[in-house]
């Protein structure tokens, strides 16, 4: 039963208020992309044991999508942040580094 703080409305939201939306920071590939690019965009999800960046929606709350940095083996939450970002902000990455030195995710470190 996770608690995630919604960065928009500030509520520490119960998991039952939230909808999980899978991997964050996907880059969309549309017409003009190769089959491999499109395939990876649609299906090749990161599934790490450890640090993960993912999307959530405060569906039974303010309705906003946001991002969370979370550990999939301990469920520790390193921080939540705006969904309107292309990659985790430095403060979030620092927060992860403080707890999981040496972490990596995609090409982020």
Interface ranges with another protein (CB under 8 A): 1-4, 14-16, 19-22, 28-33, 35-36, 38-39, 42-45, 47-49, 52, 54-55, 57, 59, 63-65, 71-77, 83-84, 99
Q: Give the separation between CA 53 and CA 45, rounded to whole angstroms.
A: 11
If the CB atoms of residues 39 and 109 are measured against another protein, the closer one turns out to be 39
> Nearest distance from residue 9's CB to another protein, in Å?
14
**Cβ closer to another protein: 30 or 90?**
30
**DSSP 8-class letter at 48:** -
Strand ranges, E, within the chain: 3-5, 12-14, 19-23, 51-57, 65-71, 77-82
């Amino acid at each position: 039963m996770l608690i995630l703080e919604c960065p928009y409305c500030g509520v520490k939201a119960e998991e039952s208020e939230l909808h999980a939306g899978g991997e964050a920071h996907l880059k969309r590939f549309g017409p003009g992309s190769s089959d491999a690019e499109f395939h990876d965009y649609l299906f090749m999800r990161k599934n790490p044991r450890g640090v993960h960046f993912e999307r959530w929606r405060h569906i039974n709350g303010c309705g906003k999508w946001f991002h969370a940095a979370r550990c999939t083996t301990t469920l520790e939450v390193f921080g939540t942040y705006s969904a309107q970002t292309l990659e985790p902000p430095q403060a979030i990455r620092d927060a992860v580094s403080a707890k999981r030195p040496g972490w990596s995710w995609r090409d982020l470190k």
